[in-house]
Amino acid sequence: MNKKQFEFKLPTKTFTFLLLPWLFFKKTVTFKTKYSQIVMVGLFKENTKIAIDSIRSQALRTFLTVFIIVIGITFLVGILTLTKALENNLFGNFASMGANTFSISQYDFSEQINQNDGEQKVNPIISYPQAKGFKDKFEFPFAATSLSFTASATAEVKFDNKKTDPEITILGADENFIPNNGFELESGRNFNSFDVDNNNYVCVLGANFKNGLFEGINPIDKTISVRGAKFKVIGLLKEKGATFGNNQDLRVIIPIQIGRSIFSQPNINYDIDVKVSNKQLLDEAVDNATLAMRRVRKQNPVEKDNFGISRSDDLIQRLGENIAVINIAAIAIGAITIFGSTIALMNIMLVSVSERTREIGIRKALGAKRGTIAWQFFTETFIISQMGGIIGIILGLLLGSLIASLAGFEFVIPWLAIMIAFATTFVVTIISGLYPAIKASKLDPVEALRYE
């Protein structure tokens, strides 16, 4: 028997008839979905319009509530903006030195940052013979030692018939000072051992001289005058910025021996900076440097170190810990202020519900659902909190940038602070608006209509 005799064929008209209910159901569902979307959009526009009209009718009360929110957000964003600028500035300065450097100075700067409760003692200065003695004794492999001192912080520099204000810092240093401290040359060259050993009258300038004393002129190979001494400019540093008001771009670096001869004064304190090429040897280098410095200072084995050794990686870590504490304190204080604004916002919405009880009853009598009423009051809360949040973020950024510029820090947009502020305003909206919205939606329309 042929297989074709057993084939079953469904007539086309029958197949179309069976599909009609499914097609009708699909079109109905699609129509209902689009209709629901249109209705939702319309309700949202209507509730937003009613919310804005209500806010306008209570302008003074709304202003006071927004003002409280603005204070909290402004303080929060302002402090976080400032700490972010401080963090970037300090971290940039220490990180530029690398994680393989350490310095020897009169005191341990890292202990001062951490404010240890140890006994306060007065350490003797590091004199030039001691600094030179350390450099001669410390012969650690893959290590470069630099000596430097601040000759003057109020010097005046002259070029032709122009001169600077008496605010220039003069540093006496050797050929290793610039690389050991993370400075980079924009043009020209650094000192070399020949310049230092032969007391050549050469100098390296900070970046500000390019737009100040030498505006529109290439300073390389030009001659400047410092305290009557003539120096040939051999290098120009890249911009470094300021730290705690100390502008590192208003500097003139001269060979250390020439600096000692021109700026002779008693009790000059010298700084020692060491850079180790291999980071893995940094711990061993610090231990060797401690022993060498103790021998130079002639300390007996039972005495504590009367000098400080600060590692760049330790300083970065300690600074990070202290800045984190400041951020937490700022967030805590801001949270307290915002908590007050949350209570104030909830209060204004509860008062608004009480004052508009009759309006709610009329809307319910005309067919408004509980969800519609709740969404109306929640929209009002959202608008008020967002107004306060946006204004607070703007004012906080302006406040933080103003303080940062006055302190000499580079302003950086604190995206984390902005996100925290936006998240905070949403939390305020939910906490402040949920209960009044639910209370309004549960009002009995009959009782509400009786309300006077």
Residues 419 and 332 in one domain: yes
147 in Cβ contact with 272 (< 8 Å) = yes
- Beta-bridge partner residues of 185: 237
Of 269, 288, 307, which closes a domain?
288
| C-alpha dist (Å) from residue 374 to 41, 432, 436 | 16, 13, 8
Task: Kindly state whether residues 338 and 243 are assigned to the same domain.
Answer: no
Which residue range is the domain that position 333 belongs to? 45-89+324-450
Rounded Cα distance, 168 and 153, in Å? 6
111 lies in a domain? no
The number of distinct structural domains making up the chain is: 2
Instruction: Identify the pLDDT of residue 10.
Output: 46
The last residue of a domain, from among 288, 303, 336: 288
Task: Return the DSSP state at 414.
Answer: -
C-beta of residue 429 within 8 angstroms of C-beta of residue 381:
yes
pTM: 0.57
pLDDT at 265: 79
pLDDT for res 123: 85
Q: Domain for residue 126, yes or no?
A: no
Instruction: State residue 7's pLDDT score.
Output: 45
Q: Are residues 265 and 174 in the same domain?
A: yes
> Average pLDDT of each block of 10 consecutive residues along the chain (452 residues)?
45 48 49 50 67 73 78 77 71 59 79 50 87 90 90 90 89 91 89 90 92 88 92 91 69 93 86 86 89 91 87 69 74 73 75 72 72 75 80 82 72 73 75 71 63 52
Contact by Cβ (8 Å): 305, 299: yes
23 within a domain of the structure (yes/no): no
Residue keyed to tokens 């470069």: 144
- Residue 193 CA, distance from chain mean position: 40
Domain match, 204 and 250 both:
yes
Instruction: Say what the pLDDT of residue 256 is.
Output: 93
Residue 291: its pLDDT value, please? 92
Q: Is residue 296 part of a domain?
A: no
277 and 214 within one domain: yes
3-state DSSP assignment of residue 349: helix
Nearest to 144 by CA among 107, 193, 206: 193
Alpha-carbon distance of 286 to 252, in angstroms, equals 30
Q: If we measure between CA atoms, which residue out of 67, 63, 73 comes closest to residue 424? A: 73
Out of 272, 288, 304, a domain closes at 288
Q: Which two three-digit tokens encode residue 7?
A: 């084939």
Nearest to 253 by CA among 328, 200, 198, 311: 200
Same domain, 253 and 328: no
155 and 250 belong to one structural domain = yes
User: Does residue 183 lie in a domain region?
Assistant: yes
Q: Determine which helix (DSSP H) or strand (DSSP E) holds 25, and give its type and residue range.
A: helix 12-57
Q: What does the pLDDT read at residue 175?
A: 92
- pLDDT value of position 20: 47
- Assess whether 243 and 335 both reside in one domain: no
165 within some domain: yes
Q: Do 279 and 359 fall within a single domain?
A: no
What is the 8-class DSSP label of residue 411?
A: P
